[in-house]
């Protein structure tokens, strides 16, 4: 009998629990949900497991307050940390979340030396850099959430504007997972048709700006937390590409070493995502304005890192 992949989700809040549930529904592997709050991961894991007969999945889900059960994981998704509230930027979370990430990585990395890490905790580009330094892992095995989620939001807004199927829209958002992200309208299509053939420039600019503010829009509605359904789905798309070695081309926060004129930084770029993590960084042609915007986004990530 083949051994199932093992997926650890650190943090049993809304994002972590959503990731665990989506991963189980897709039967991506057995899942360990861990959190420092006693009873919460155990209760949520049991609740999810009890949905298995109804939903028809065989993934095993356990909840724990210990890191011992995370040993020999194939993928470790880190969602632990504090979430945004109205008026906060992702960068406002840095001081608290850096401490959380350092502690988590110190616990999980030695127990799963061959795992790939998916960093979700905001600001995710910065947290990927922290995990890279703390773990000593090859940078290819550290991936930050950002582009998949931001692109999903951009794709949603394009589909709603055109009143077309969501699945027919493709789009790329590069750069840091923050207000300086770079939605690339020039590389956005509806069934192969460039969106600038379907929408005027003023509409495209409005959708680009909404994509940049997509997370804040939800935070302002919720008041006491941030998004978790679309982030959860985006994370699971990344995890699926890794555990199934699908080698999908996805915009993720990866360690660039000269690509796009940026060095030694985690930044949202198109990558081929497979069993080893980032198998390849894809360089696409950018206009001078797009490249300048990407460098501005990189400078924003460096600025936050400089405060650590």
Q: Which residues carry out catalysis?
A: 177
Q: 25: burial class by Cβ within 10 Å (0-12, 13-18, 19+)? A: middle
Question: Are 143 and 277 within 8 A, CB to CB?
Answer: yes
> Which value, in Å, is the radius of gyration of the alpha carbons in the chain?
19
Q: What is the spatial distance between Cα 141 and Cα 9, in angstroms, rounded to a whole number?
A: 16
Residues 6+ apart with CB under 8 A from 70: 8, 10, 32, 34, 76, 107, 108, 111, 112
Using left for φ > 0, alpha for ψ between -120 and 50, and beta otherwise, residue 136 falls in left
What does the block give as tokens for 285? 């042609």
Question: Are 297 and 125 within 8 A, CB to CB?
Answer: no
- The structure tokens 């949900």 sit at 33
């Amino acid at each position: 009998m083949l051994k199932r992949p093992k997926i650890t989700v650190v943090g049993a809040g809304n994002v972590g629990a959503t990731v665990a549930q989506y991963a189980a529904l897709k039967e991506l592997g057995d899942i360990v949900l861990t959190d420092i709050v006693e009873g919460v991961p155990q209760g949520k894991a049991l609740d999810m497991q009890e949905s298995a007969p109804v939903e028809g999945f065989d993934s095993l889900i356990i909840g724990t307050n210990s890191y011992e059960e995370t040993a020999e994981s194939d993928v470790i998704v880190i969602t632990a940390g504090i979430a945004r509230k109205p008026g906060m930027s992702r960068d406002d979370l840095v001081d608290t979340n850096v401490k959380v990430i350092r502690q988590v990585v110190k616990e999980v990395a030695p127990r799963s030396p061959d795992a790939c890490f998916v960093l979700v905790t905001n600001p995710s580009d910065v947290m990927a850099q922290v995990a890279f330094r703390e773990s000593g892992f090859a940078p290819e095995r550290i991936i930050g959430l950002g582009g998949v989620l931001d692109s999903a939001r951009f794709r949603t807004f394009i589909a709603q504007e055109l009143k077309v199927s969501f699945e027919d829209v493709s789009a790329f958002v590069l750069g840091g997972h923050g207000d300086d992200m770079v939605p690339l309208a020039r590389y956005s299509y509806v069934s192969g048709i460039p969106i600038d053939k379907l929408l005027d420039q003023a509409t495209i600019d409005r959708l680009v700006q909404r994509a940049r503010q997509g997370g804040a829009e939800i935070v302002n509605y919720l008041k006491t937390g941030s998004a978790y359904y679309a982030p959860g789905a985006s994370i699971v798309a990344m995890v699926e590409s890794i555990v199934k070695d699908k080698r999908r081309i996805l915009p993720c926060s990866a360690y660039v070493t000269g690509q796009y004129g940026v060095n030694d930084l985690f930044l949202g770029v198109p990558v081929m995502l497979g069993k080893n993590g980032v198998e390849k960084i894809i360089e696409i042609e950018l206009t001078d304005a797009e490249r300048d915007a990407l460098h501005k986004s990189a400078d924003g990530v460096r600025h936050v890192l400089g405060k650590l």
